[in-house]
Amino acid sequence: MQKILQNRMTWIVLALLVVGVGHYFLLLHIDVSPRAAVSDAMGNYFCLLFFIFILQRLHVFYHSRSAINMVYIGVITVFSLLISFLVQGYGDGIAAGDDVYRDLLGTLFYIRWFVVFLILLVIVNLFWIDEHVKEQAQAFDRLVEKERQLTKAEINNLQQQFQPHFLFNSLNSISALLKKRPEKAREMLLNLSEFLRMTLRKGETDFAYLAEEIDCLNLYMAIEKVRFGNRLSVAIEQEGDCRQAQLPALILQPLIENAIKYGLNSKTDQIYIRINTRCHASHLFIEVQNPYDDNDVSTQKGTGFGLESIERKLKFLYKQNGLLQIRKQNEIFEVTLKIPQ
């Protein structure tokens, strides 16, 4: 905005210079001597610039709701009269030896006052528009910042709802392993500690690289494999080089948690979860497949809290609908994330 105001003053100075040159040639055209013509034009020009600068300073401290009001009209009326009197007095001093210019001074006073009044009126309106645009921009910035803070708070709230559920399950599993398999309990505890440290670090940002999310996901799955043993098998397939693609931080963990939960509920033997990532055009696609059973009670409750929360998080961050898609076919439950890049 400061640059706009500076450019505005530059254009005003140049426009007044053009008016001053036209003023000079007009006086020459009516047979005023070059000396008197240039003196009158320069006096008029510099007086205008001086009072326009004062107008700009006044406008910083007073900005009304309307562009035209009694205060502005009163100020520019006084300023235009002062300019006319100053140039008139200055003209009396340079009129010696130029009878044509002396005879014009009386008539020029009223013409000069009217023209200067119009010029100042236009400039005051320009100043008002600049200030109004600045206020609107600031109001918009405040609104965007408020929305950003609300969005971040909502995302953090959703994120915190995932962690306790996973943490409690992991601690229960560690407790169960302590007597029978203490080495596995220790391994799981170390993995859990590293995973929580990583999630806390990632929680400070809204986005992460796919490579970082995959590393975090591998750590999470190592914990889950200790819990479920040979029943859980997870494969990650990556098509193309998408490691630098960005996606919302910690969005994969609840997605896989949902797949493990419903996959294990649907079968008593080993389950296979497939994760595929690929880049296409301006989007990153992430597909997660897990088995499901239509006859199982837990699968009849809908997509579950986890997927609904992921969908809300994507909508908050990208302001788009349809970034999470669900498909059920041949006892395979598939979730696809479409992440804009």
pLDDT digits (tens, 9 = 90+) for 244-284: 899 988 888 888 888 888 887 767 778 889 999 998 878 99
Q: Is residue 164 part of a domain?
A: no
Q: Is residue 302 part of a domain?
A: yes
Does 185 lie in the same domain as 103?
no
Does 75 lie in the same domain as 223?
no
Does 61 lie in the same domain as 185?
no
Confidence grade of residue 147 (pLDDT, cut at 50, 70, 90): confident
Does 236 lie in the same domain as 107?
no
Give yes or no for residue 4 having a pLDDT over 50: no
- State which of 79, 114, 143 marks the end of a domain: 143
Does 232 lie in the same domain as 300?
yes
DSSP helix/strand/coil, 50: helix
Q: Considering only CA atoms, which of 307, 196, 209 is closest in space to residue 249?
A: 209
pLDDT digits (tens, 9 = 90+) for 53-64: 888 877 777 666
Does 120 lie in the same domain as 185?
no
Q: Is residue 226 part of a domain?
A: yes
Q: Is residue 273 part of a domain?
A: yes
CA distances 200 to 81, 203, 302, Å, are 69, 5, 30
pLDDT digits (tens, 9 = 90+) for 8-30: 777 888 888 888 888 888 888 88
Q: What CATH number is given to the structural domain containing 306?
A: 3.30.565.10
Give yes or no for residue 171 having a pLDDT over 60: yes
- State which of 118, 143, 168 marks the end of a domain: 143
Percent of the chain with pLDDT over 90: 7
Backbone phi and psi for residue 268, each to the nearest 5 degrees, phi listed first: -100, -15
Does 196 lie in the same domain as 133?
no
Does 296 lie in the same domain as 200?
yes
Does 187 lie in the same domain as 137?
no
Does 277 lie in the same domain as 188?
yes
DSSP helix/strand/coil, 287: strand
Q: Is residue 152 part of a domain?
A: no
Q: d(Cα 152, Cα 191) in Å, to the nearest integer?
A: 28
Q: Is residue 243 part of a domain?
A: yes
Total domain count for the chain? 2
Buried b (16+ CB within 10 A) or exposed e, 76-107: beebbeebbebbbebbeebbeebeebbebbee
Q: Is residue 268 part of a domain?
A: yes
Q: Is residue 173 part of a domain?
A: no
Helix H or strand E encompassing 291: strand 283-291
Residue pair 203/159 in contact (Cβ under 8 Å)? The answer is yes
What mean pLDDT is predicted for residues 147-151? Answer: 72
Largest CA distance in the chain: 118
Average pLDDT of the residues of the chain: 80
Expressed in percent and rounded to 5, the helix, strand and coil fractions of the chain are: 70, 15, 15
In this prediction the pTM is 0.53
CA distances 308 to 183, 274, 294, 327, Å, are 37, 21, 19, 15
Does 257 lie in the same domain as 137?
no
Does 90 lie in the same domain as 202?
no
Query: Which two tokens mark 125?
Result: 């309106």
- State which of 122, 143, 164 marks the end of a domain: 143
Helix H or strand E encompassing 317: helix 304-318
Residue 325: which domain range?
Answer: 181-340
Residue 231: DSSP 8-state: G
